[in-house]
Chains A and B, each alone.
Chain A
Amino acid sequence: MQVTPELPRWWHRFLSKPVFLKIALPVIIIISWEVLSVLIGNEFILPSIVSVLLVLSNPFADILGSGSLVGNAFVSLGRVLIGFMVAAVLAIPIGIGMGRSGRVHDFFDSTIQVFRPIPPLAWVPLALAWFRIGLLSMVFIIAIGAFFPILLNTLDGVKSIKKTWVEAAHTLGAKERQVLVKVVIPGAAPTIWTGLRVGFGIAWMCVVAAEMMPGTNSGIGYLIITSYNWGQVQVIIAGIVIIGIIGLGIDILFKIVERKKFMWRELDR
């Protein structure tokens, strides 16, 4: 009576592994994409995987006279780095100040609460009006995007420092400045790092949007918007894939450092 076909053992083993769950959805997406692209049959709406892969396989080739995927990605990365550093240089000291002193906290808090919910892209017209098209306005938008997560995490990290760490340092002869450098900053470092990681992610999102502003002439965002104007949907998708890969790669780098340097946060319970 038994009609259930016997599946090979390796297949059962494969199904029971978490790896299966992890790759299941991407496989479904890719298959449906390919099926849809065949059904639609219009490269200007949904190109086939092969044509996207073709673009991705020549990452150094010039596209529509706008530069290569890799070249433009590096331009974007450079902008993000500048904006991100500006944000970090401002947010970390302010966050530490707010965490350590009630008066500094009161001074900044209300302003921050007002500005925090404004999406970075709402600043685009103002950035254009103030700084014109160019690096400065992009850096401004990126910095605003990265500023708040860095600030709030720094504040949180400093506030959650154990009171007895600071007291122990004082009884062991540390001066205020030494407490700051030797206890507060290293103690808050893991949380500050989390803020930098989240901030970089947002900065990366902002740069792509900022590069779509009219008048820009380089960067991965620019490449995408130009490809749209030329109806090159496969380049748009390739650009999106590159954005995703770089964002993921940087996030992984942040996490590697976190695991190496700040292991104590998880283990010191």
Chain B
Amino acid sequence: MTLVLEDISKDFEQRNIRSSALLSINLEVGEKEFTCILGPSGCGKTTLLRIIAGLEKATTGKVILGGSIVTGPTSRTAMIFQDYSLFPWRTVLDNIAFGLEMKGVNEEERHKVASHYLDLIGLCGFGKNFPYELSGGMRQRVAVARALAIDPAVLLMDEPFGALDAQTRNMLQKQLLEIWDKTQKTVLFVTHSVDEAVFMSDKIIVLTNRPGTVKEVVNIDLPRPRDRTSQDFAKVRRYVLGLIDEPQSI
């Protein structure tokens, strides 16, 4: 399913002062593509993702997914939040099965599907645990499985690894790429880390400072799996780094 954004703008109004967060964004995300939205903090990249997820309305413009306009949350997209937002009163397995439960799938069937995704994220054996018994990295993997379980066409990820330490982060990046490879989903990934964007994506959409507009779309042709220490990687990284005004932070 291709995702097309047509002239998306978003204004916020606070105490009668209007300010523009996003300004006329046009872009297209191809099927099965891994795309990163990269920009300095406060540039509206999270807002953009929320508009695509149907959680917020754009002031102007429209989001077209697979030919039809997005008006609210749909099961064709699934969002993964930075704070995991797992339901702490549910077991890991019941968290993953949540979307199926909402659809009315019976318990046996949804547990079967949930177990499959539990395997996929490498956490089989943790189904009966509660989220608070897991580390941050494990929780975020559960959140990925929960999103995948509803079989969405597009995965929307809002700085999903932002709260994790560097090692866990690198590990999860690799793991996400493996999952992406296996499941063939379209992924739209918001990050402020240039390194992460270059390592993961087919395409990086660089946004400007607020109000966010598309500054440049960078295609990353480096072969996968990518080597962070290679010269080519460094070259691309330097180029993308030059595009954003703020100093880089990991």
**Residues on A facing B (Cβ under 8 Å):** 162, 164-165, 167-175, 178, 182-183, 186-187, 189, 262, 264-265, 267-268
The answer to whether A171 touches B78 (Cβ under 8 A) is yes
Whether the Cβ atoms of B77 and A186 lie closer than 8 Å is no
A189's partner among B55, B85, B89 (CB-CB below 8 A) is: B89
A187 to B90, CA, bound (A): 10
Shortest CB-to-CB span from A237 to chain B, Å, is: 44
- Cα separation A177 to B173 with both chains bound (whole Å): 36
CB-contact partner of B75 in A172, A182, A186, A187, under 8 A: A172
- Give me the interface of B with A, judged by CB distance under 8 Å: 53-55, 72-73, 75, 77-79, 81, 83, 85, 87-90, 98-99, 101-103, 130-133, 146-147, 150, 156
Whether B87 and A186, one on each chain, are in contact in the complex, defined by CB atoms closer than 8 angstroms, is yes
Please name all residues of chain A whose beta carbon is closer than 8 Å to the beta carbon of B55 when the two chains form the complex: 167, 170-171
Taking the nearest CB of chain A, how far is it from the CB of B75, in angstroms?
A: 4
* Cβ-defined partner of B85 (8 Å) among A167, A182, A186: A167
The interface centre, meaning the residue of A164, A172, A178 with most chain B CB atoms within 10 A of its CB, is A172
**Whole-angstrom CA separation of A68 from B89 in the bound complex:** 44
Give complex CA distance A58, B14 in Å.
Answer: 70
Give Cα A175 to B102, complex, Å: 8
> How far in angstroms is the closest Cβ of chain B from A158?
15
Contact A168:B132 (CB < 8 A) given known A173-B150, A178-B102, A182-B102: no
CB nearest neighbor in A for B89: A186
- What chain B residues lie within 8 Å of A186 (beta carbons)? 87, 89-90
Task: Give the residues in chain B near A182, CB-CB below 8 Å.
Answer: 98, 101-102
Query: Which residues of chain B are within 8 angstroms of A170 by Cβ–Cβ distance?
Result: 55, 72-73
Between A and B, 30 residue pairs with Cβ closer than 8 Å are: A162-B83, A164-B85, A165-B87, A167-B55, A167-B79, A167-B85, A169-B98, A170-B55, A170-B72, A170-B73, A171-B53, A171-B73, A171-B78, A172-B98, A172-B102, A172-B146, A172-B150, A173-B103, A174-B98, A174-B102, A178-B102, A182-B98, A182-B102, A186-B89, A187-B89, A262-B89, A264-B130, A267-B132, A268-B131, A268-B132
List of B residues within 8 angstroms of A167 by Cβ: 55, 79, 81, 85
CB nearest neighbor in B for A166: B85
Q: Is the CB of A168 within 8 A of B75?
A: no
Contact of B79 among A162, A171, A189 (CB under 8 A): A171
